[in-house]
Chain A
Amino acid sequence: MLARVIALIIKELISLWADKKTRYVILIPPLIQVIIFANAATYDVWRVPISVWNEDLGSQSAEYIRGFSYSPAFAPAPDVFSPAQARQVLESKTAAAVLHIPQNFSAYMLSGRAAHVQLLIDARRSNTALLIGNYAAEITAAYAARLNPAAAPPVDIELTNLLNPSLESQWFILPGLVVILSLIMTTLVSALSLAREKELGTFEQMLVTPLRPAEIMLGKAVPPLIVGLLEANIVLLAALILFRLPFKGNLPVLELCLAVYSLTGVGLGLALSSFTRTQQQAILGAFVFIAPAIVISGYATPVDNMPRAVQLLSLIDPIRYMLVISRGMFLENLPASVVVAQSWPMLLIAAVLLSGATLMVRRSIS
């Protein structure tokens, strides 16, 4: 029996590797994606173009504005001189914010009075808008402290950023890419291998061989598993070598978790292709499941931000669990209890999907 299954696995691997285009698609795009997306996926806010509308003639406004010029968060945009112009630069996205300094600002500052400074922010991109507001508040506080060094503020907040001290977006995105790219590949490879045989009619031929349904499933499951692990490790290596991410966890444990996780992808692919008749339907099915699964997994935006119903839905999303493990393994030595807590739901999902797919195949025989 073992020999039969091994023969089937070898056959599957050969048919994957034989096609030159398929080979490229498995190896090259992940690398390109890692390099491009790791650089693109950033919520960092810096070099935001800001226009100044300065009605003050004194030196203090220049001093205050210098705080903005020196901050890496802002980059200068053309000055404006009227409300209409301010509206126009914001509308056309020439500037993302306009700082309005009133008349007599310098005089007020030097005589110890308060002056209202207005900051107009283009909030079309709400996240950036919020951060711009925070940075401007920091710069304003720093200027006030320089102006009045004797008066200490009543409270100071001492901030520590744990696990990712310099707030690198790449440290957040790359461990996620390890997880996402491998699942896309595993699901597609497994969905298509069965669907192709069905479409070409070779599936019937396979059913008349001495192979039992469970054996066929095993033979169909192992090659995508290998491809998925290969994919994950390509991204992992790229993250460590090209982007110098730390890796503080336990590599064998991560690989083991990745294997369990890839099984869910295999299960999804096989289950999908057992319902579909053509490769096209299998691919579509894969898209229909994977695209939302990525969105609700917490890969790009935190699960905590989602509505309750979507949070509940994400409980059956294997990506959600693997993301926690992958991010934890890179940035900290994830406690065993967390690894176990995240692994068993994946095992359960894989078991349900794989047995469902096997049942379907068994039914198509009888």
Chain B
Amino acid sequence: MSPRVQRLRGLVRKEVLQILRDPSALLIAFLLPFILLIINGFGMSLDAHRMKLAAVVEAGAAPTRAIEQALDASPYLSVYWAPSGQAARRALDTGEVRGILTLRQDFAQKLERQARWPAVAQLAVNATDPNTARLLQGYVTGAFIVWLQDVAKERNLSTGGGPVLETRFWYNPELRSTDFIVPGVIAMVMSMTGTLLTALIVAREWERGTMESMLASPAGMAELVGAKLGTYFVLGMGSMAMSVLITVFVFGVPLHGGLGALAATAALFLVFALAQGLFISTLARNQFVAAQLAFITTMMPAIMLSGMLFDIASMPRWLQLLTYVFPARYFVAAVQTLFLAGNIWSVLIPNLCGLAIAAALTVAATLAITHRRLD
């Protein structure tokens, strides 16, 4: 056995022992992803079922009864029939309802006579959260459309001319937001665990001076970095496997793509994240600064700039360009596609290339900066 291999074996042994002795690494690799996935998977949801709406009916005549039924029947709305405008307003102010629908006295009269159409219904929405406001508007409009169709059928009216829009939702027909959020959370978890694993643990070695003594040993820089990355890589892949199992079996997200493609994607991303952690810790050499940098450069971009929750295409142009710098973007695109659509190579190949380039650049930068730090 050449001394080089022997040294490498010794280094890996040292890392493994260190991991087993200090529970931090195992906590980062397994407990943290577990908690994050469970909480995010259950907690983050854009599906607003049973959105609370107050309705004030001043009219009370027959035609509105049918509208009331249509509103009550909507699976997306939970209607509070307010006795008065003031009561509804109070419910809106205290946040008990998201909006108020008002049918005024003349609503029923106008609805009766075709000549006086349209009868106007007022919808006031609390738009503090613009997304919820838009959804509520859509749901109320939807309930009215259902009612109009019933009326047309009942009175045997022809709907007149014009286009009838039929909407089909592909890849996620039930529109479960969990199906795209949870694969996104995997990206968040992997960037965090990957970077934290190395950032914190190596920052401590710098802080205590044990990193310097390692560098003084006959082991070369590449061997040191390689042994660290290799050991934590195995740990990180374990945490990825656990995340995928939770996604499929706890949250019931279908996995349409192949495991091989998923493993390759994860491996590339993990090399990047681990190297970035090493880079940060070498730069910071202080656990507080390292933790802050790790949080700011991984966790936040993984949530905000990866396309996991917010659509990149809707961001301003300069920010869209900036997202290309953060590999979480490539990882999220690849993982979401693998889970929901399958092995679509036209999506996967560009993103895997992005990940490979990011990984190579970060490893190179880490090697360079560790060299310089010795001076």
Contact = CB atoms under 8 A, between A and B. Distances in A.
Interface string B264-303: 0000000000000000000010111101110110011001
A129 interface: yes
A29 interface: yes
Given A92-B346, A148-B161, A280-B287, A123 B170 contact: yes
Nearest to B336: A124
A165 B35 contact: no
B292 A188 contact: yes
B177 A157 contact: no
A288 B32 contact: yes
B296 A19 contact: no
A122 B123 contact: no
B334 to A, nearest CB: 12
Nearest to B131: A43
Contacts of B322: 36
A159 B164 contact: no
A358 interface: no
Given A158-B121, A280-B24, A109 B163 contact: yes
A155 interface: yes
Interface stretch (B6-14, B210-218, B223-231, B308-316): B308-316
Contact of A129 (B129, B172, B309): B172
B319 A39 contact: yes
A162 B137 CA distance: 13
A42 B337 CA distance: 22
Given A33-B300, A154-B148, A292-B39, A147 B123 contact: no
Interface residues of B, number: 108
Interface stretch (B41-49, B238-246, B359-367): B41-49
A122 B167 contact: no
B196 to A, nearest CB: 7
Contacts of B160: 112, 114, 148, 151
Contacts of A122: 170-171
A121 B168 contact: yes
A64 interface: yes
Contacts of A6: none
Contacts of A108: 161
B255 interface: no
A284 B300 contact: no
Interface residues of A, number: 110
Contact of A304 (B31, B48, B169, B316): B48
A56 to B, nearest CB: 11
Interface string A88-106: 0011110010000000010
A33 B177 CA distance: 26
A168 to B, nearest CB: 7
Interface stretch (A132-140, A202-210, A232-240, A343-351): A132-140
Interface in A21-42: 21-22, 25, 29, 32-33, 36-37, 39-42
B127 interface: yes
A291 B294 CA distance: 13
A301 B27 CA distance: 27
Given A117-B166, A304-B98, 17 more contacts: A36-B305, A40-B304, A42-B310, A43-B46, A93-B337, A117-B165, A126-B175, A136-B167, A155-B118, A156-B119, A162-B125, A169-B131, A188-B291, A295-B40, A301-B309, A304-B52, A306-B45
8 contacts: A109-B162, A117-B164, A129-B175, A152-B117, A169-B131, A283-B200, A287-B291, A292-B36
Interface of B: 24, 27-28, 31-32, 35-36, 39-40, 42-49, 51-52, 92-95, 98, 111, 114, 117-135, 137-138, 140-141, 144, 148, 151, 159-173, 175-177, 179-180, 192, 196, 200-201, 204, 284, 286-289, 291-293, 295-296, 299-300, 303-305, 309-311, 313-316, 319, 322, 336-337, 340-341, 344, 346-347
